[in-house]
Amino acid sequence: MTRPPAPRRAGRGPSARARAWATRAPLLPALIFLIAVTQLPFVATLFISLFDWNSLAPDERAFSGLSNYKTVVTDASLRESILTTVLLTATVVIVSVVLGLLLALLINRKFVGRGFVRTLLITPFLLVPVSAALMWKHLLYNPEYGLLNGGWAWFTGLFGDSTPAQPDWITDMPLLAVEASLVWQWTPFMMLILLAGLQSQPLDMMEAARLDGAGTWQMFRFLTVPHLRRYLELGTLLGAIYVVQNFDAVFTITAGGLGTANLPYTIYQTFYQAHEYGLASAAGVVVVIGTIVIATFALRVVSSLFSEEASRA
Amino acid sequence: MSTTTAPVKAAPATTAYAPATRRARRRSAGLGLLAWVVGLGFCLPALWMLLTSFHSETDAATNPPSFTAPLTLDSYKVFFGSDGGASPWPPLINSLTASLFSTLFVLLLALPAAYALSIKPVRKWTDVMFFFLSTKMLPVVAGLLPIYLFAKNIGMLDNIWLLVILYTSMNLPIAVWMMQSFLADVPVSIIEAAQMDGARLPTVLARVVAPVAAPGIAATALICFIFSWNELLFARVLTGVTAQTAPVFLTGFVTSQGLFLAQLCAAAVVVSLPVLAAGFAAQDKLVQGLSLGAVK
């Protein structure tokens, strides 16, 4: 473990370098693979974004500089999908963090069948996203025989009302319909992370606070919440990474219609259906720039978690 | 009854606290009950889907819903019997192939990398870790088009091995992060002992590190499997008929056959089963894995 600069200069350089490479070597396959499969395509996207290129008219491919970016910024529907993405991500992450916290608090106490209830609660997260989205679309939202309207009809039927309101959920509130299904899927994820946070809370501190006469709310506000802060940040960060990129729910429930097209869906459509390769690439680059801004902040959060762990080791 | 003075002294205190504890106990029981109600309510859509998959089509599409309709296996029989429609087996086998092989490749690449990052830290190892994580933040759509064009040019479209490669890259960063945290728990002394005996890296990894970190590696594998099985966007864009995966099959199922609610539910249940099984098995390690090892 001696790594002073002197021996390196004193002729032991080659062997030190060899040792350094021996340490690094196991890392290389993973690094090289990842760079080849994730970074190179992005460089290609950057390149393509500078061209006016519609695959239906391949002969008219031409260098067009930044004009695709201009279109992205000025196009109303693309701008709307940026707004939709922000709205969708923020709503889903915030609501599922709050619900996840409530569920974690509820389940962080001993009761009969706790393991089973926990299993019930994480099930939505484990359903294949397409399955879940199809289930919401047809089994719950369907205006004629969906469980939401059906359950409501059953409930009002108990009171003799045979003509209850039967809204068409997806048409009437499309974005909310997508958000609800995503909140349902992501709440368990938040719950799991926050539950881990609750269970790592030092018990002796809680005891001490209780002996000092702190009430439940005070203990929650001044001990639990500060302790959970890092877990809340982590859940928000990871949730945001995944929800920003959501494609399955938008694709399945509304097919991007009725103002629910988020950026991943819009880009998919631009390139897969409209064949506008240059434009789709420019939109992709814009998404990446936006993500980098968020990620810089996000990485700092993880970094703080990480350095704490490193200092513990 | 009291032979010492201590219980006598304690007695007033006990009676004084008795109402509070009884109230606390009743409140606790109430919260337990509430947890059950909330848990069942939260899971209701999934349970309803399971129930509907065992109903006949006519019973499935009633309003108000019927909770007591007779149960039948018809939907599953239709689903697997490929009643005029496409057989679900090729997509299921494709998903299995893509998920299993990509998980295997992820482990083969991530284990040495995690070893270099945790047990024999390379210099600037945190930077390397963050590079891995940052690739996860790169939106998938931003690289999809070049991958599509490249695959098209070399004739790899609609080929399950293309998905294997992409799923490997998709899960590799997560796996490196997870395993780094699991391998950090392996005592360095036993590794050094093995190296003294002349063991080289592959032997050390296979004989010393892997057995000790087995539970963590298993959890990593399960999570990679789940993410690969669930993936839709790559599979949707890059596969067609022969390499179609289960999620893609599921999306086609509805549009092509009109709306058969019970059948749709059966299909959704079958496609979700492997993931549910893997997830329930990994429940305890799931949190640690999903939070990239940052939460222990």
Mutation target among B31, B36, B42 for the A interface, most CBs of A within 10 A? B42
Phi, psi of A276 (to 5 degrees): -85, 85
Helix then strand then coil, in percent of chain B rounded to 5, is 75, 0, 25
Q: Residue B15: its pLDDT value, please?
A: 41
Nearest CA to A273 out of A295, A289, A251 is that of: A251
Task: Write out pLDDT tens, residues A168-207.
Answer: 788 888 888 899 999 999 999 999 889 888 888 888 888 8
d(CA A275, CA A43): 20
Mutation target among B38, B107, B291 for the A interface, most CBs of A within 10 A? B291
| Proportion of chain A above pLDDT 90, given as a percent | 15
Residue B172 lies in a domain: yes
Q: Residue B169: its pLDDT value, please?
A: 92
Sign (positive or negative) of CA dihedral B214, B217, B221, B226: positive
d(CA A221, CA A236): 20
Residue B111 lies in a domain: yes
The residues in B 117-176 lying below 8 A from A, measured between CB atoms, are 117, 120, 122-123, 126, 128-150, 165-166, 168-169, 172-173, 176
pTM for this model (two decimals): 0.83
How many domains does chain B contain in total?
Answer: 1
Residue B71 lies in a domain: no
Per-residue confidence at A10, pLDDT binned at 50, 70, 90?
A: very low
d(CA B87, CA A248): 23
d(CA B28, CA B219): 33
Q: Letter for the amino acid at A66?
A: L
Class of residue A75 by CB neighbours under 10 A (exposed 0-12, middle 13-18, buried 19+): middle
Sign (positive or negative) of CA dihedral B174, A122, A291, B143: positive
Domains and CATH numbers, chain A: 43-127+174-312 (1.10.3720.10)
More confidently predicted of A165 and B43? B43
Q: Say whether pLDDT at B14 is over 50.
A: no
Per-residue confidence at B135, pLDDT binned at 50, 70, 90?
A: confident
Q: Is the Cβ of B281 closer than 8 Å to some Cβ of chain A?
A: no
More confidently predicted of B288 and B225? B225
Q: Say whether pLDDT at A12 is over 60.
A: no
In order of A71, B63, B134, the CA distances from A148 in angstroms are 41, 10, 40
Query: Residue B261 has which token pair?
Result: 């609610």
Q: Do A268 and B144 touch (CB under 8 A)?
A: yes
Residue B213 lies in a domain: yes
Task: Write out pLDDT tens, residues A119-162.
Answer: 899 999 999 999 999 889 888 888 777 788 887 877 888 887 77
Nearest CA to B102 out of B223, B187, B6, B210 is that of: B223
Which residues make Cβ contacts (< 8 Å) with residue A96, sequence separation at least 6? Answer: A182, A183, A186, A187, A189, A190, A239
Q: Do A120 and B43 touch (CB under 8 A)?
A: yes
Residue B153 lies in a domain: yes
The residues in B 36-65 lying below 8 A from A, measured between CB atoms, are 36, 38-40, 42-43, 45-46, 48-49, 52, 60-65
Residues of chain B found within 8 Å of residue A53, distances taken between Cβ atoms: none
In order of A139, B225, B267, the CA distances from B96 in angstroms are 27, 9, 16
Q: Do B144 and A103 touch (CB under 8 A)?
A: no
What single DSSP character describes residue A161? Answer: -
The residues in B 11-40 lying below 8 A from A, measured between CB atoms, are 28-29, 31-32, 34-36, 38-40
Q: What is the mean pLDDT of chain B?
A: 81
d(CA A33, CA A39): 10
Q: Which chain A residue is nearest to residue B112, measuring alpha carbons?
A: A26
Average pLDDT over residues B133-151: 83
Task: Write out pLDDT tens, residues B203-257.
Answer: 888 888 888 888 888 888 988 898 899 999 899 888 888 888 999 888 876 654 5
DSSP B199-264: --HHHIIIIIIHHHTHHHHHHHHHHHHHHHHH--HHHHHH--STT--HHHHHHHHHHHH---HHHH
Q: Residue A94: its pLDDT value, please?
A: 94
d(CA B285, CA B296): 9
> E-strand spans in B148-206?
none
Q: Is the Cβ of A133 closer than 8 Å to some Cβ of chain B?
A: no
Task: Write out pLDDT tens, residues B50-107.
Answer: 988 888 877 777 777 777 778 888 788 887 875 556 788 888 999 999 999 999 999 9
Per-residue confidence at B165, pLDDT binned at 50, 70, 90?
A: very high
Length of chain B: 296
Task: Write out pLDDT tens, residues A41-59.
Answer: 888 888 888 888 887 777 7
Which residues make Cβ contacts (< 8 Å) with residue A309, sequence separation at least 6? Answer: B181, B294
Residue B174 lies in a domain: yes
Q: Do A123 and B138 touch (CB under 8 A)?
A: no
Residues of chain A found within 8 Å of residue B26, distances taken between Cβ atoms: none
Mutation target among A32, A97, A108, A127 for the B interface, most CBs of B within 10 A? A127
The residues in A 52-91 lying below 8 A from B, measured between CB atoms, are none
Q: What radius of gyration do chain A's Cα atoms show?
A: 26
Q: Do A238 and B142 touch (CB under 8 A)?
A: no
Instruction: Provide the 10 A C-beta neighbour count for residue B79.
Output: 25
Average pLDDT over residues B43-47: 91
Phi, psi of B54 (to 5 degrees): -100, 10
Phi, psi of B199 (to 5 degrees): -75, 135
* Winning range, highest mean pLDDT, from B125-129, B164-168, B181-185: B164-168
Query: Residue B291 has which token pair?
Result: 């939070």
Q: Is the Cβ of B85 closer than 8 Å to some Cβ of chain A?
A: no
Task: Write out pLDDT tens, residues A14-40.
Answer: 677 777 777 788 888 999 998 898 888
Q: Residue B255: its pLDDT value, please?
A: 57
The CATH number covering residue B102 comes to 1.10.3720.10
Q: Residue B269: its pLDDT value, please?
A: 93
Q: Residue B187: its pLDDT value, please?
A: 85
d(CA B203, CA A9): 33
Residue B23 lies in a domain: no
Q: How far is B196 from chain A (nearest CA, A)?
A: 16
Q: Residue B84: its pLDDT value, please?
A: 58
Q: What is the mean pLDDT of chain A?
A: 82
Residue B273 lies in a domain: no
Cα maximum dimension of chain A: 95
Query: What domain range includes position B140?
Result: 88-252
Q: Residue B21: its pLDDT value, please?
A: 72
Q: Is the Cβ of B102 closer than 8 Å to some Cβ of chain A?
A: no
The span from the first CA to the last CA of chain B, in angstroms, equals 49
Task: Write out pLDDT tens, residues A263-311.
Answer: 889 888 888 888 888 888 888 888 888 878 877 777 777 777 666 655 5
Cα B57 to chain centroid, rounded? 31
